[in-house]
Amino acid sequence: MNLWLGIVLIIVALIGGVAIGFYAARQYMMKYLKENPPINEQMIRVMMAQMGRKPSEKQVRQMMAQMNKFQDK
């Protein structure tokens, strides 16, 4: 009888650990994305200005499209 109790407790602990781990990882990612938002058009403009370029609207849109295409993969 003790063997079955041990097996059940191990399975319950495993399921609980997975649930708690998923919740903790989700909270961490939400906090991270809130503090470090994904790249937007304004960030691209600033980055290109720091490199000494004056980007046109077309260039900014092309870079955003490339970033979105890269993130979707």
Residue 24: what pLDDT? 97
Q: Which pair of structure tokens corresponds to residue 66?
A: 């490339």
pLDDT per position as a tens digit, 37-71: 788 888 888 888 899 888 888 988 998 888 878 76
Contact 43, 66 (CB under 8 A): no
What is the residue extent of each domain of the chain?
1-36, 39-72
Alpha carbons 60 and 48: distance in angstroms, whole number: 9
Angle at the Cα of 39 (from 36 to 42), degrees rounded to 5?
115
pLDDT per position as a tens digit, 9-23: 999 999 999 999 999
| Tokens 């092309």 belong to residue | 62
Q: Give the global pTM.
A: 0.55
| Tokens 């077309």 belong to residue | 58
